[in-house]
């Protein structure tokens, strides 16, 4: 097919439509189901971001058992309110994040609750990787190279929401766990295995950034990271009658603060 003319170039470009690859968005997501609002598969070394309505459930699936997804969350309306990993572990007296944990903002509110996910396959300590670190480890850490660093991908994802590197706080990673020993040192638990899932429920309107890159403590010589599948669907946020609302006194006050904020904001 000649691309020497605009007509030829247009025909050539249009002939590419409809191509299906393993890692791509399905648009609109409703093609897969009435309530779906996001359907995409992110490759290893890839990223994605989305604004999600309150009540949305976001399910991440480690398709082949070697995904490692770092997550950042922001208040979609006031992005200077964002995930605070320290508060998330300190306020709830628990470092290992899994089902029933609340992902807290720096304003004492619940950005999202974890409605499914294994506590031994998450990491609040190590964050994601840097360009300098990946250059040392794999020879390259740039976003366009063969071994992108998580922070480089987060920088791009953030930019699409008007945010910069200043807006990137510590993150939480899923599917690859670490354990802390008595002496404080880490033991890497490795991946959760193919088909592992994590589900987050947005408790306020949020912007979510996802970077799928090898864990900083991954010992393998080769940059190893497999695709993660995203599915999101609309639903209801945690109700005050839900057992999760009152599972802990700290969490109950976080839900109360969130309801208070959203009511004043006119969106609850």
Partner 1 sequence: MTVSAAESPALTPGTIVLDQTVAARAPWSAIVRRGQVLTIVDLHGNQAVDCLIYRADDTAERYSAQDTLAAQGGIFLTTGSVLRSSEGRPLMTVVADEVGRHDTVGGACSRESNTLRYGHHTKHQHACVENFLAEGAKWGLGKRDLVSNINWYMNVPVDPDGSLGIVDGISAPGLRVALRAELDVLVLVSNCPQINNPCNGFDPTPVRMVVTSS
Q: Which of 73, 89, 198, 200 binds partner 1 (CB under 8 A)?
A: 89
Name the minimum Å distance from CB 38 to partner 1. Answer: 26
Which residue in this structure is represented by tokens 């590419």?
16
* Selected range binding partner 1 among 7-15, 20-28, 130-138, 198-206, rule: CB under 8 A: 130-138
Name the minimum Å distance from CB 72 to partner 1. Answer: 12
Name the minimum Å distance from CB 96 to partner 1. Answer: 3
Cα separation, 57 vs 231, in Å, equals 8
Name the minimum Å distance from CB 243 to partner 1. Answer: 18
Closest CA to 225 of 127, 170, 149, 133: 149
Residue 197 lies near partner 1 (rule: CB under 8 A):
no
Residue 259 lies near partner 1 (rule: CB under 8 A):
no
How do 196-202 and 57-62 pair as beta strands?
A: antiparallel
Q: Which of 216, 227, 231, 259 binds partner 1 (CB under 8 A)?
A: 216
How do 122-123 and 172-174 pair as beta strands?
A: antiparallel
Rg of the chain taking only CA atoms, in angstroms: 19
Name the minimum Å distance from CB 92 to partner 1. Answer: 9
- Using a 10 angstrom Cβ sphere, with 0-12 exposed, 13-18 middle and 19 or more buried, the burial of residue 182 is exposed
Cα separation, 81 vs 73, in Å, equals 9
Query: Residue 16 or residue 164: which is nearer to partner 1 going by CB?
Result: 164
Residue 263 lies near partner 1 (rule: CB under 8 A):
no
Count the Cβ atoms, other than its own, within 10 Å of residue 180.
12
Query: Residue 82 or residue 201: which is nearer to partner 1 going by CB?
Result: 82
Q: Which of 50, 54, 121, 151 binds partner 1 (CB under 8 A)?
A: 151
What SS3 class is residue 173?
strand
Paired tokens of 201: 């429920």
Closest CA to 92 of 82, 84, 102: 102
Q: Which of 4, 31, 34, 183 binds partner 1 (CB under 8 A)?
A: 183
Asked if 233 and 36 touch (Cβ cutoff 8 Å), the reply is yes
Phi then psi for residue 31, to 5 deg, are -60, -25
Closest CA to 232 of 78, 85, 25, 64: 25
* Selected range binding partner 1 among 55-63, 90-98, 203-211, 228-236, rule: CB under 8 A: 90-98
Residue 96 lies near partner 1 (rule: CB under 8 A):
yes
Name the minimum Å distance from CB 157 to partner 1. Answer: 15
Residue 130 lies near partner 1 (rule: CB under 8 A):
yes
Residue 93 lies near partner 1 (rule: CB under 8 A):
yes
Q: Which of 39, 104, 112, 228 binds partner 1 (CB under 8 A)?
A: 104
Closest CA to 109 of 252, 264, 266, 263: 252
Q: Which residues in this chain contact partner 1 in the complex, by CB under 8 A?
A: 80, 84-87, 89-91, 93-96, 104, 106-109, 119, 125-128, 130-133, 151, 164-171, 180-186, 216-217, 250, 253-254, 257
């Amino acid at each position: 097919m000649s691309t020497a003319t605009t007509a030829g170039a247009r025909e050539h470009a249009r002939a590419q439509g409809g191509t299906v690859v393993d890692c791509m968005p399905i648009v609109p997501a409703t093609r897969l189901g009435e309530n779906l609002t996001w359907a995409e598969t992110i490759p290893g070394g890839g990223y994605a971001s989305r604004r999600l309505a309150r009540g949305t459930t976001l399910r991440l699936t480690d398709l082949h058992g070697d995904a490692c997804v770092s997550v950042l969350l922001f208040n979609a309306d006031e992005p200077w309110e964002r995930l605070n990993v320290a508060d998330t572990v300190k306020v709830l007296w628990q470092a290992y994040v899994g089902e029933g944990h609340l992902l807290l903002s720096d304003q004492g509110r619940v950005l999202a609750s974890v409605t499914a996910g294994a506590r031994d396959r998450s990491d609040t300590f190590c964050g994601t990787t840097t360009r300098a670190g990946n250059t040392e480890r794999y020879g390259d850490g740039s976003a366009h190279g063969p071994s992108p660093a998580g922070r480089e991908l987060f920088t791009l994802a953030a930019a699409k929401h008007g945010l910069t590197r200043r807006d990137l706080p510590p993150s939480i990673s899923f599917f690859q766990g670490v354990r802390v020993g008595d002496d404080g040192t880490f033991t890497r638990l490795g991946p959760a295995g193919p088909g592992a899932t994590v589900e987050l429920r947005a408790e306020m309107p949020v912007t979510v950034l996802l970077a799928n890159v090898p864990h900083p403590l991954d010992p393998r010589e080769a940059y190893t990271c497999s695709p993660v599948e995203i599915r999101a669907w609309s639903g209801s946020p945690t109700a005050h009658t839900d057992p999760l609302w009152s599972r802990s006194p700290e969490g109950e006050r976080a839900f109360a603060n969130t309801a208070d904020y959203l009511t004043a904001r006119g969106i609850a």
